[in-house]
């Protein structure tokens, strides 16, 4: 049900915040054993949150978010609630503070149902690298959810929350949203504070929203955006009011379609569904513009070099001493650190740290890291040129639909190449939204993405909403 | 060319210990990964001078004194604590 509708029901006392929360907790109890979307369910504290929210509603002081039950990705710090990053390293970590996004939402008496499963340290596109077991797709439990916010996407698709907070470093909100048949919004870099988001790649990370509709993603984004003195990269440019263009006339907009996103490697059924969406906008009256992103071919390599270099630095804080797993093996200081990291990190995290140090180390830095940053500048320029010709760009979200568990997530090269359609958005710091635009012959959701100008989330939300209003979305049946 | 000596060097930089079998597997994985990373070396940098991209920092917060978190809360997640301090093996 739409967040605005739930708000109305809560305000009209058609349902209490406790009843609504209990419904979702019952759903989790019944269904999550089949999909493993939550690492931690906060049943008791959620009911307490709901009672507090109901008091606020009863006193006439409810805000847009009071009493709405959401899930939170387990790399977002939550005061007093375990935050594991789906890693053995942080299996017992209890943050002494809330992330800024949680401070904001808690101030509005939102209800947190629990912390969702993910790829370890958000490094992956399958949500199978979690120390707590992989997440299964609500549309077909033999298949992956995508990732890294796979638990968040699955929790929304299976009605285990009203909406979810995720994070997106290279597609980690949009791609699982695509695989799980829901809507995922990655805001502009700097639109939402990263304070309290456990860092993976600081120049690319961004907290995002997953929900059942574009309007709902904008609704929740209204509660978390804005400048934060604790995050020097957060921006004062965001204006909020992200749903203000929903329902407005979008038929005069120009939609760019980049040819490089429709070449070899794209599944035929996905190509057809996404081009049908292009045709939908054309019939609506939108002008369809051919655009080009020539440097797309370099994007995956540049993304992995930059993000891994930043990860190698960010994850050096996990030494077994201050927090996290501490190995009992080893005699000296260095052994303690090396063994703690050996025991605490999974294979993919180790690969990223090794790759990052390769890109940064003497003899390779100029050829790899420096070139990757030049490609980043080039991609930003190409996007700037594209947005002189059009208002939004429409692309597939992923080259495939959800694949079978075990089929490709153990092959890092295959996994990295599958990020081709999402990483440029993070590299350029732009906002993008993914929604379902069709179903393949197996009934699996197909995602398309709408990419916008920096800080113009309103337009992509409105354009996406227009499509969703005419699209026959099928619910997952568990 | 990626080889086990380079893997050992990177493992040292990364402060991760590996068994011999793990090292062999990592060398194999990294060989395949670097093969696709080599693509950035094909990027033509001769057309123009590229500024190395930097993150935009916005308003930095004022440099003002603020109380920090209580020490007990900060050390609460450490596995070995004594007198509100982290315990580490002897270094010197």
Domain segments of chain A as ranges: 3-252+402-470, 256-295+377-389, 296-372
d(CA A184, CA A205): 15
For residues B84 and B71, the answer to whether their CB atoms sit within 8 Å is yes
Residues 6+ apart with CB under 8 A from B21: none
Among A229, A301, A333, select the one facing B39 at the smallest CB separation. Answer: A301
Among A334, A337, A357, select the one facing B13 at the smallest CB separation. Answer: A357
For residues A342 and B17, the answer to whether their CB atoms sit within 8 Å is yes
- What's the average model confidence in pLDDT over A109-138? 98
Q: What is the model's pLDDT at position A340?
A: 98
d(CA B88, CA B91): 8
Whether A212 shows a pLDDT value over 80: the answer reads: yes
Is A172 a known active-site residue?
yes
| Interchain CB distance below 8 Å, A350 and B53 | no
Q: What is the model's pLDDT at position B53?
A: 59
For residues A84 and A128, the answer to whether their CB atoms sit within 8 Å is no
Is A73 a known active-site residue?
yes
Mean pLDDT of chain A: 97
Q: What is the model's pLDDT at position B55?
A: 67
Q: Tell which wins on pLDDT, A96 or A330.
A: A96
* CB contacts, 8 Å: A324 with chain B: 77
Our CA-based measurement puts residue A290 at a distance from the nearest CA of chain B, in whole angstroms, of: 24
- Return the residue in B11, B76, B79, B81 with the most chain A beta carbons within 10 A, the one to mutate for interface testing: B79
Q: What is the model's pLDDT at position B50?
A: 79
Mean pLDDT of chain B: 90
Domains (ranges, CATH) in chain B? Answer: 4-42 (1.10.20)
Is A115 a known active-site residue?
no
Residues 6+ apart with CB under 8 A from A79: A95, A96, A97, A98, A102
CATH dotted code for A3-252+402-470: 3.90.1300.10
Among B50, B56, B80, select the one facing A377 at the smallest CB separation. Answer: B50
Whether B92 shows a pLDDT value over 90: the answer reads: no
pLDDT tens figures, A253-304 = 999 999 999 998 999 999 999 999 999 999 999 999 999 999 999 999 999 9
- What's the average model confidence in pLDDT over A83-100? 98
């490609």: which residue's tokens? A375
Q: What is the model's pLDDT at position A409?
A: 85
CA-only gyration radius of chain B, Å: 22
């Amino acid at each position: 049900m739409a967040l605005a509708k739930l708000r109305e029901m809560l305000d009209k006392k058609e349902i209490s915040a406790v009843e609504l929360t209990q419904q979702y907790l019952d759903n989790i109890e019944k269904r999550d054993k089949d999909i493993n979307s939550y690492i931690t369910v906060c049943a008791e504290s959620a009911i307490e949150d709901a009672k507090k929210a109901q008091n606020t509603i009863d006193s006439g002081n409810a805000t847009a978010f009071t009493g709405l039950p959401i899930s939170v990705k387990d790399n977002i710090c939550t005061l007093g609630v375990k935050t594991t990053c789906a890693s053995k390293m942080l299996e017992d970590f209890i943050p002494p503070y809330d992330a800024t996004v949680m401070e904001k939402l808690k101030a509005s008496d939102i209800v947190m149902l629990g912390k969702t499963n993910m790829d370890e340290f958000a490094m992956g596109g399958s949500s199978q690298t979690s120390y707590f077991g992989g997440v299964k797709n609500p549309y077909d439990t033999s298949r992956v959810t995508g990732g890294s916010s796979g638990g968040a996407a699955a929790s929304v698709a299976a009605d285990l929350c009203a909406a979810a907070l995720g994070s997106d470093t290279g597609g980690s909100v949009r791609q699982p949203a695509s695989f799980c048949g829901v809507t995922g919004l990655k805001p502009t870099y700097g639109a939402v504070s990263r304070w309290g988001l456990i860092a993976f790649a600081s120049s690319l990370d961004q907290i995002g929203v997953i929900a059942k509709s574009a309007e709902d993603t904008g609704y929740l984004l209204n509660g978390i955006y804005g400048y934060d003195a604790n995050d020097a990269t957060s921006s004062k440019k965001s204006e909020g009011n992200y749903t203000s263009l929903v329902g407005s006339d979008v038929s005069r907009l120009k939609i760019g379609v980049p040819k490089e996103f429709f070449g070899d490697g794209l599944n035929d059924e996905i190509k057809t569904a996404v081009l049908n969406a292009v045709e939908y906008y054309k019939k609506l009256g939108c002008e369809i513009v051919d655009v080009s992103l020539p440097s797309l071919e370099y994007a995956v390599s540049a993304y992995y070099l930059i993000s891994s270099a930043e990860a190698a630095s960010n994850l050096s804080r996990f030494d077994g001493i201050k927090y996290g797993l501490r190995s009992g093996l080893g005699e000296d200081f260095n052994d303690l650190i090396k063994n703690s990291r050996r025991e605490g990190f999974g294979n993919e995290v180790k690969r990223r740290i090794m790759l990052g140090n390769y890109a940064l180390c003497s003899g390779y830095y100029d050829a790899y890291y420096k070139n990757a940053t030049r490609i980043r500048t080039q991609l930003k320029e190409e996007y700037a040129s594209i947005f002189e010709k059009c208002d939004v760009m429409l692309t597939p979200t992923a080259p495939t639909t959800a694949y079978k568990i075990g089929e490709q997530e153990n092959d890092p090269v295959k996994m990295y190449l599958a990020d081709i359609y999402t990483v440029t958005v993070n590299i350029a710091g732009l906002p993008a939204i993914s929604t379902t635009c069709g179903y393949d012959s197996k009934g699996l959701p197909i995602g398309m993405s709408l990419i916008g100008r920096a800080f113009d989330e309103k337009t992509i939300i409105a354009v996406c909403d227009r499509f969703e209003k005419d699209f026959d979305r099928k619910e997952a049946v568990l | 060319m990626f080889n086990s000596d380079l893997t050992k060097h990177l493992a040292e930089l990364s402060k991760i210990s590996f068994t011999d079998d793990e090292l062999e597997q990592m060398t194999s994985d990294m060989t395949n990964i670097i093969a696709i990373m080599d693509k950035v070396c094909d990027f033509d940098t001769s057309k123009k001078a590229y500024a190395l991209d930097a993150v935009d920092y916005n308003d930095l917060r004022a440099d003002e004194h603020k109380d920090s978190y209580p020490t007990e809360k900060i050390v609460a997640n450490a596995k070995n604590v004594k007198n509100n301090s982290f315990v580490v093996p002897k270094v010197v």
